[in-house]
Structure 1
Amino acid sequence: MTDKTDKAISRTAATSAAATGRSAPGEIDRFLGAAKQLAPLATGQAGRLVFALDATMSRQPSWDLACSLQSRMFEVAAASGGLAVQLVYFRGIAECRSSGWLGEPQRLTGLMSRISCEGGQTQIARVLRHIRDEARAVPIRAFVFVGDAMEEDVDTLAALAGELGLRGIRGFLFQEGHEPAASTAFATIARLTGGVHARFDVSAPGSLLDLLRGAAAYASGGREAMVRLAGTSPAVKGLLSAMDASGRPTR
């Protein structure tokens, strides 16, 4: 994302925040800026996972759920070398932002707690471009995307997903609900990255927790870490089976 684009996004978001009383972009900017200036992660050879969420208005219940569960991703990854997570989210009118790489759940919780959902259209293509560009600087094994809708050109998303697949970056697309366009797009992205598309129910927190734990296990330790976790989690076993069925070698 260019500086020019970020400045334009900030102006738009500031107007929206003033009208709604929700989290001000200035506060979020300061937090993101501080996170990016922190010393390098003390997580050794931690796996890297991009944690991307749709933060448009319909997503508030799922955002709150993801915020309450995200620390468990770090816990399950600890045995496989640790986990570094980068938060990416979009909301409102053309606002799409990313954090630095965070190695502790408390820092990710602090950031997510400052963000409220706002109405707007999906920006999944921007998320995929960001992951592609970020992977040029640091190794990324996987990304998670949590959402319930898709309002973009699916061919554009497919092309971007194909680029990520060629880089060996697997996508874990977790969908709330059964919106047909989202189902088609999420399944396509998962297929082209050698990843998984799965649904969860916000009224059953355990379903999303197991999915996030499975993605974190893969990001931190590859297939071997998922196999260990699958022994105690049918949901993770299902993710592993779906990945194996994709036909792409699983490291």
Structure 2
Amino acid sequence: MTSKLPDKKSNAQDIQAFIGKVHNAPLVPSLNKGRLIFAMDATASREHCWDMASHQHAAMFVEADKVSALSVQLCYYRGFAEFKALPWTQGADAIKQALLSVRCLAGKTQIGKVLVHALNETRTSKVNALVFVGDCVEENPDSLNVLAGQLRILNLPLFIFQEGKSRKVARIFSQLASLSGGAHCQFDEGSAKELGQLLAAVAVYAAGGKPALQNNLLSNNTNVQRLLQQIT
């Protein structure tokens, strides 16, 4: 999705009302807790706002933790071909500490490694959703599209949160998300709360699928409705 998030001034009251609903939203009934991979671009292009972004990402899991129990694996790439996948964990506090411990290093994007890792993980034990946060693509889009198509075959949707407003990057990210059956949206420095709500929606999806999200109070939010429209 390439459309901008709603104007903060005009939607301030709606957002506050929605936050109240999120606090009271029921857990999604599920025989198994959802499993979600959260992957980040930790290269130098994000360093100028990394502290803000890290706290944003942590806030996303605080919101998600209010509506659904998840097992989460944090992944990131940075530097010279450095890619790390941390152990699976549960609870917003543990995820927050892991997020805030990551620092940026100059290097090229490694989105392909993220997708290959997610494919390998779900072949071993089902992963319900893959979230990626980044601002740049330096790899061959066609190669990434092939991997995104494989995610679709394994029913593992990719949810891409794009930092910044690059139209070229948005086109590539949107294509990847679409091929996987997931969704794409853009954010900026003022989008922390909206991001938290969107990740909460992804958490509900990971725990109970699209029907669970459609039946949850989260689905009343405009941003979440846009996310739902993209999921296939």
Which TM-score band (shorter chain)?
0.7 to 0.9
Aligned counterparts of 2:217 and 2:132: Cα–Cα separation in 1: 21
Change (3 A) 1:104 1:230: closer
How big is each residue's C-alpha offset from its partner over 1:65-123, in whole Å with a ceiling of 9 and x where there is no partner?
2123322222221xxxx211110111111111011111122211121222112222111
TM-score normalised by L of structure 2 = 0.80
Equivalences for residues 198-213 of structure 1 within 5 A: 198-213=185-200
* Deviation (angstroms), 1:55: 1.1
Range that drifts further, 158-167 or 180-189: 180-189
Question: Bigger radius of gyration, 1 or 2?
Answer: 1
One-letter amino acid of the structure 2 residue matched with residue 86 of structure 1: Q
SS at match of 1:96: strand
Higher relative contact order (CA 8 A, sep 6+): 2
Q: Retained in 1: the 8 A contact 2:109–2:138?
A: yes
The answer (yes or no) to whether the contact 1:201–1:207 under 8 Å persists in 2 is: no
Unpaired stretches in structure 1, ≥5 consecutive residues:
1-42
For residues 128-165 of structure 1, what are the alpha-carbon distances to aligned partners after superposition, in whole Å with 9 as ceiling and x for unaligned? 00000111111011111111111110011001111111
Q: Is the 8 A contact 1:55 1:63 kept in 2?
A: no
Contact 2:158 2:182 in 1 (8 A): yes
**Shift in Å at residue 44 of structure 1?**
6.8
The answer as to 2:39 corresponding to 1:52 is: yes
Instruction: Give CA deviations for 1:193-214 in whole Å, capped at 9, x if unaligned.
Output: 1111111122231221122111
Structure 1 ranges of 4+ moved more than 4 A: none
State the identity as a percent: 36
**SS of residue paired to 1:85:** strand
For residue 70 of structure 1, what is the aligned residue in structure 2?
Answer: 61
Amino acid at match of 1:241: Q
Q: How many pairs are equivalent?
A: 198
SS in 2 for 1:100: coil
Partner residue, 1:236: 224
Q: Report if the CA contact (8 A) 1:129-1:160 is conserved.
A: yes
CA distance in 1, matches of 2:226, 2:36: 20
Residues in 1 aligned to 2:31 and 2:94: alpha-carbon distance in whole angstroms: 18
List gaps (5 residues or longer) in structure 2: 1-29
**Alpha-carbon separation, structure 2, partners of 1:204 and 1:194:** 24
One-letter code aligned to 1:154:
P
Verify: 1:147 aligned to 2:127, yes or no: no
CA contact (8 A) 2:57 2:99 kept: no
Root-mean-square deviation over aligned CA pairs: 1.7
Distance 1:139 1:170 in 2: 12
**TM-score, normalising length from structure 1?**
0.74
- The match for 2:123 among 113, 132, 136 is 136
C-alpha change, 1:187 and 1:231, in structure 2 (3 Å) is: closer
The structural deviation recorded for 1:191 is 1.0
Secondary structure at 1:70 match in 2: helix
Aligned to 2:79: 92
What displacement does 1:180 show?
3.0
